[in-house]
């Protein structure tokens, strides 16, 4: 029975990717242990194919990624003392888990403000005291958050990510993160394809949300550039489906200057 601690805990996580045509299973994660406490920033770095994005999708509950329990050392995925291993993606989101995708999905015809209202209502369905009494009341709240995060209010009235630039997509996703008030947020290569100004804006937005809601943040990235603005408390290096090294912010600087091959030689 998991202990009731305010933290996101992964223990001995083994995950296989399932080919939907052949049903062939390929083991990707091979025993990941990670603990993220409220307000902490954890960066996960590593070469391509090391399992970083698999970890993100597994946490979100993607059906193509199946958790396997070894015969010994039981696997755990616990959010604030509650086992979420068997929970659906919607249930995990309602419990306070948020995933920012590397490539946000475009949904033509669905306005950003309507999408975010539906997402908010689903997130807090079990907390009626947090629900807004009218659509206009929610929109006022949304516009206030958009102003705080420097998101162009015109984007709220457009189709979700429809014709958005890369930077606009990521800004709106950070706005979604603010709307959902996550206990823990997983940012899967959220700096991918962004210029320096957009990276800085996204990082500043994440920092505001972290301080406002005391959210635990997991940043998955290849590069140190976003970590110049989003200062990590812990840096973890993944290789072949496992975390092989952990340290402070200086570890990210070492990886930037020396590369992952140097680490593999140690």
Class of domain 8-265: alpha beta
Q: What pLDDT is stored for residue 265 in this prediction?
A: 47
Instruction: Give the total residue count for the chain.
Output: 266
CA distance 187 to 203: 11
Yes or no: say if 241 and 51 are a contact pair by the CB < 8 Å rule: yes
CA distance 28 to 54: 7
Q: What pLDDT is stored for residue 50 in this prediction?
A: 92
Spatial CA neighbour of 55 closest among 198, 264, 243 = 243
CA distance 97 to 83: 13
| DSSP assignment of the chain | -----SSEEEEEEEEEEE-TTT--EEEEEEEEEEEE-TT-EEEEE--TTSSHHHHHHHHHT-TTEEEE--SSS--EEEETTEE-TT--HHHHHHTTEEEE-SSPPPEEEEEHHHHHHHHHHHHTTT-GGGS-SSHHHHHHHHHHHHHHTT--GGGGGSEETTT--HHHHHHHHHHHHHHH--SEEEEESTTTT--HHHHHHHHHHHHHHHHHHT-EEEEE-S-SGGGGTS--SEEEEEETTEEEEEE-HHHHHHHHHHHHHHHHH-
Burial (0-12, 13-18, 19+ Cβ within 10 Å), 88 = exposed
Write down the residue that tokens 């979604």 correspond to: 176
Q: What pLDDT is stored for residue 262 in this prediction?
A: 63
Write down the residue that tokens 């090391």 correspond to: 50
Tens digit of pLDDT at every position of the chain (266 positions): 445 679 999 999 999 998 878 888 899 999 999 999 999 999 999 988 899 999 999 999 998 999 987 765 688 999 999 999 999 999 999 999 999 987 788 888 999 999 999 999 999 999 999 999 999 999 999 999 999 999 999 999 999 999 999 889 999 999 999 999 999 999 998 888 788 888 999 999 999 999 999 999 999 998 788 998 999 999 999 999 999 999 999 998 888 777 776 665 45
Pairing of strands 65-68, 8-18: antiparallel
**Predicted model pTM:** 0.91
């Amino acid at each position: 029975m998991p202990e009731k601690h305010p933290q996101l805990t992964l223990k001995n996580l083994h995950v296989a990717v399932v080919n939907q045509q052949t049903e062939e299973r390929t083991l990707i994660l091979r025993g990941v242990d990670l603990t993220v406490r409220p307000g902490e920033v954890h960066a996960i770095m590593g070469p391509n194919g090391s399992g970083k994005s698999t970890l993100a999708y597994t946490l979100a509950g993607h059906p193509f990624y199946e958790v396997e329990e070894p015969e010994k050392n039981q696997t755990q995925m616990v959010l604030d003392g509650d086992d979420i291993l068997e929970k659906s993606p919607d249930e995990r989101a309602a419990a306070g888990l948020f995933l920012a995708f590397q490539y946000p999905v475009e949904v033509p015809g669905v306005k950003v403000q309507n999408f975010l209202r539906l997402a908010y209502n689903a997130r807090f369905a079990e907390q009626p005291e947090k629900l807004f009494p009218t659509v206009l009341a929610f929109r006022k709240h949304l516009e206030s958050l958009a102003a705080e995060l420097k998101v162009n209010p015109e984007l709220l009235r457009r189709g979700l990510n429809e014709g958005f630039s890369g930077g606009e997509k990521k800004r709106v996703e950070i706005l979604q993160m603010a709307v959902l008030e996550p206990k823990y947020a997983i940012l899967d290569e959220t700096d991918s394809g962004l210029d320096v100004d957009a990276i800085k804006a996204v990082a500043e937005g994440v920092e505001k949300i972290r301080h406002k809601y005391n959210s635990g943040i997991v940043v998955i990235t290849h590069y140190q550039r976003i970590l110049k603005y989003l200062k990590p408390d812990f840096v973890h290096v993944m290789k072949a489906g496992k975390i092989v090294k952990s340290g402070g912010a200086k570890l990210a600087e070492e990886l930037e200057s020396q590369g992952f091959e140097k680490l593999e030689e140690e």
